[in-house]
Amino acid sequence: MGRYIFRRVLQAVGTLLLVMLLLHLLTTVAIQLNGNPAQAFFGDKVASPAQIAVVEQRFNLDDPCFDQVGNPCLGPFVERLGQYAQGDFGTNLRGREVSDIVATAAPNTLRLFCVVLVTWLALGMVLGSVAARWRGSPGDHGIRLTSVLIDAFPVFVLLIVYRYVVAVPLSRWAEETFGEDSWPPYWFKPSFDPEHPWATVLVPGILLGLAGSAAFIRLVRAGQLESYQGDHVRTARSKGLGERHVVVHHVVRNSSVPVVTAVGLTFTEALGGAVITEGLMNIYGMGGVLWGAVRDDDVGLVLGIVTLLAAVTVVVMIVVDIAYALLDPRIRYE
Amino acid sequence: MSRTRSAAEEKTVNKDESCAPPPLLEVTDLSVEFRTPAGQVRAVDGLSYRVEAGRTLAIVGESGSGKSVSSLAVLGLLPDTATVTAGTARLDGVDLLALSRKEHRARCGDQVAMVFQDALAALNPVHTVGYQLTEALRARRGMSRADARKRAVELLDLVKVPNAKARVKEYPHEFSGGMRQRVMIASALSLDPAVLIADEPTTALDVTVQAQVLRLLAEIQAERQMGLVLITHDLGVVAGVADDVTVMYAGRAVEQAPVVPAYTAPAHPYTRALLRSIPSASGTGRLSVIPGRPPSLAARPSGCPFHPRCDAARDVCRTEVPPAAVPAKGRMSACHFASDIMAGQEPAPDGADEHSTGRTTAAGNAAATAFDRGDDRGDSGGDHG
């Protein structure tokens, strides 16, 4: 098991380096083709060549390779890796430390993800299990239809409808009913409030979770149906065990392997969804910051955050793999 | 209708048979139907058998003959598409098939347990062997974790798995095929069932391991005076361990007899053909085979279901379902010419039909009371009503 984890961590580090290289190459090509992002620093103002040169130097964009289309610019890449290794992630265009920005933004994203994860697990496990247990019943058909409907609504449509149609009346109603200082009005606030991070992240998180849960419900259902048909379930029943015991220990437990895998995959997918959600709901999180950074041509910030998100993804994958090995003894010693 | 009649008959016959030991498990007139796109298909048709303490009944048949389905019905483990349409399965005086699902389930494992065919699939891959061995004890009898661990080791010792203490912590995939089947047996024994149904327990194993597992089953059965139902397609397996044999074809019992007479003088052409197709070490020349394939249950042949493959088929076989004849005491054969076949003679050629049919039926009636393992009453009553 220890060796297995060690090998997975090594692979993860390799993957991360590869992702960073790819990211670097993409931004390099973008700079080479689109012109120097140092110009973005000045916004609409016209800067003198001397001013631009100073900015270029400050953001490590002064290497001549950025003017040569096709040059992979490995020099600045290695230099940046060295800075990252020392914990220096650079600054954004306004001079604020990237690590500082991340320290403020990341907790909000984590909050969002907690809500999303709970929504997934609750909806997916409950509805998926019910659908599998009573396969072919009206409940099963209803759940499957619902999951298709959810899939048909992209998350941003869901959010826009919520924000512009539902949120304001709901929040006003909650204020009148429960008073201004109570929790409910915050739940339905149409935008994020840093004073009440949990309350204002709840509904966007549930909506984002709802969008991801559709595939999840179907996966849980399919996984459990397969388990129900397994010989080992028949064996468990032949021992005279109660149906609830059989379902928990032989159906849900056995179908948890694909479910955990799916949680990992959907989680990384939700990183993209989080950009939209945070952007739309004004949540000051990683997605929102990335959204702004891309809009402002803030290369340093984009690189820093995408690297961080890639690292998170890789870590989640390792956790999933380890969970996988813990849940299924057959793959432990491979 | 056939259900009530066979129950009534059973009562009277039981009085006559008061000398016979009471059966642990008595299946009477069991019929199971599957819902298929082609309509209802009868997989088991009026099967009756009984198992007594310390005896082994072998149920033999080709794939699809209904032998596994009938035992799944006894345990209430039929798939959703199958239903029991008639019959009883009395265990300790209680008809399992008349119980609610929950009550039926409560008797599984406890009074009747099952050993399944493919132990790798039948054991849960994600739980340790020790957990699975004592799962029922923990969940149903409230045994403590420490006691359960001890009991798991004892159970593994019982089925002669070496180094039991270390192996209870392992997972099924870490066991060899034979050892896995032993685990399967041990887990079925955990609640001390009175009757054990073993569904092809040795099919997935190689021959030497097969013999070991069968010997183990026989030893345990003798020691505990369990009733054992051994389901197999291998007549060679039957010879060594069984006391009685029921041969099934297309969902019906075609011959029921004690093992030795069934082997020396089979009373049904199907049994005879099966015995001839066992390869022997000393054998020379070609191995005889049964031509054709078992009939599809959805398109059962008219008359005797075996007639298209039978080497002794006559005209009557094509039109009339043979009644359950009793060619000798304690034997049953669903063949128009049971007595002839048992005597080793070919039935009279067509044209002399009337005579021979009359004779078997008469023999059947006369011997009905003498038939002391009377398993066929449901059969004959149901089919000719």
Instruction: Using the structure block, give the residue that is written with the tokens 């001890």.
Output: B150
In which band, very low, low, confident or very high, does the pLDDT at A54 lie, cut at 50, 70 and 90? Answer: confident
Cα–Cα distance, A87 to A178 (Å, whole number): 47
Nearest C-alpha in A relative to B115: A235
Structural domains in chain A, CATH included, are 2-85 (no CATH), 98-296 (1.10.3720.10)
Minimal Cα–Cα distance from B140 to chain A, Å?
7
* Cα atoms found within 13 Å of the Cα of residue B364, Cβ hemisphere only: 23
Give how far A327 is from chain B: nearest CA, Å: 7
Residue with tokens 């009905």: B368
Can you tell me which residue has the tokens 């103002």? A45
How many other C-beta atoms lie within 10 A of the C-beta of residue A170?
18
Sign of the torsion angle spanned by Cα atoms B226, B203, B171, B215? positive
Contacts of B136 in chain A (CB under 8 A): 239-241
Buried b (16+ CB within 10 A) or exposed e, A208-230: bbbbbbbbbbbbbbebbbebbeb
Beta pairing class for B39-51 and B195-199 = unpaired
CA distance A223 to A253: 10
Distance, in Å, from the CA atom of B90 to the CA atom of A94, rounded to the nearest integer, reads 85
Q: Which chain A residue lies closest to B109 (C-alpha atoms)?
A: A239
Cα–Cα distance for residue pair B256/B51, rounded to 1 Å: 12
Residue B304 near residue B316, CB atoms below 8 Å:
no
Of the candidates B122, B140, B173, which has its C-beta nearest A240's C-beta?
B140
pLDDT given for residue A164 in this prediction: 86
pLDDT(B376) > 50: no
Q: Could you report the per-residue pLDDT of A273-298, keeping only the tens digit for each?
A: 677 888 788 888 888 788 788 888 78
pLDDT at B351: 63
B88-97, B133-142, B201-210: the lowest-pLDDT one: B201-210
For residue B33, the model assigns a pLDDT of 93
Q: What phi-psi label fits residue B163: left (phi over 0), alpha (psi between -120 and 50 degrees) or beta?
A: left
How big is the A-B interface in CB pairs under 8 Å? 82
Cβ-Cβ contacts under 8 Å, B125 against chain A: 232, 254, 328-330
> Residue B254: in which H helix or E strand, if any?
strand B252-258
d(C-alpha A299, C-alpha A293), whole Å:
7
The string of pLDDT tens digits covering residues A236-286 is 999 999 999 999 999 999 998 888 888 887 777 666 667 788 878 888 888
Flag if B125 and A330 touch (Cβ within 8 Å): yes
Residue A258: Cβ within 10 Å count? 18
Spatial neighbors of B95 by CB under 8 A, at least 6 apart, are: B88, B89
What tokens appear for B378 in the block? 């449901």
Most confident of B149-153, B199-203, B277-281: B149-153
In whole angstroms, give the CA distance from residue B291 to residue B65: 16
Share of chain A above pLDDT 90, in %: 19
- Which B residues, 112 through 141, put their C-beta within 8 Å of a C-beta on chain A? 113-114, 116, 118, 121-127, 135-136, 139-140
